Amino acid sequence: MPPPSFVLTTNKILSLARSGLIASARRLFDEMPERDTISWNAMLTAYCNSNLPDKTLSLFSSMISSSAAKPDHFTLTAALSAASDARELRTGTQLHSFSLRSGFNSLPVTNSIVDMYGKCSCPCDAERVFESMEERNVVSWCCLIHGFAYSGILEKAHQLFDEMPRVMNACAEIDRPCFGETIHSLVVKIGWIDAVEFQGLLGTGKERRL
């Protein structure tokens, strides 16, 4: 169990970051005489949530090369998220290999790997990871669908979207908007909202939920 000083400092790092004081959070992190995995994860999360993928990846590299603290699933998820946002395929592939060597195969990690390949315009690699997953949730499906749609492979995205309701009830699985609305937001984000096929498919998804 980490000492109280670790917990207090880590909470303060997160609080500063949430307030937009990311430089102050990093300064406090650097002043820590010792850092455990939770402390590193707090700073990595702070950078991730502040949309600073380059700093996230740099900090992750420092943790691996110079820290006694061992990365965990949270560490790897933060690094993969940064690789996705920066469209760093080479780094993302290295992180994927690292996850395999280290046995990090939790659902959040594998979802992050699928997301990374999709955002790096490698949807087929994303699908290979998706197919190898023993467990999937609505996030898994959304990441894969987004990957194919992002790369302009609409027919495959349509096919996956059509399969998704048959394998899980996304609306009941998580406490968030229904999966059709989730996919709709992804379609809007990547600029395919005018595609007639997608408009019709979204309508079909709504009908299935009624």
Q: Is the pLDDT of residue 127 over 50?
A: yes
**Cα–Cα distance, 190 to 67 (Å, whole number):** 39
Of residues 150 and 111, more confidence is placed in 111
Label residue 7 by pLDDT band (50, 70, 90): confident
**Cα–Cα distance, 80 to 63 (Å, whole number):** 15
Label residue 129 by pLDDT band (50, 70, 90): very high
Of residues 138 and 207, more confidence is placed in 138
**Cα–Cα distance, 36 to 178 (Å, whole number):** 38
Most confident segment among 103-117, 153-167, 193-207: 103-117
pLDDT of residue 184: 56
pLDDT of residue 168: 55
pLDDT of residue 19: 93
Tell me what the mean pLDDT of segment 119-139 comes to.
94
DSSP conformation letters of 59-91: HHHHHHHH-SSPP-HHHHHHHHHHHHHHT-HHH
Q: Is the pLDDT of residue 15 over 80?
A: yes
pLDDT in tens, 39-97: 999 999 999 999 999 999 999 999 999 878 999 999 999 999 999 999 999 999 999 99
pLDDT of residue 123: 96
**Cα–Cα distance, 136 to 187 (Å, whole number):** 21
pLDDT of residue 78: 96
pLDDT of residue 194: 47
Tell me what the mean pLDDT of segment 98-120 comes to.
95
Of residues 126 and 33, more confidence is placed in 126
pLDDT in tens, 133-186: 999 988 899 899 989 988 989 889 888 888 876 655 544 444 444 445 555 555
pLDDT of residue 185: 57
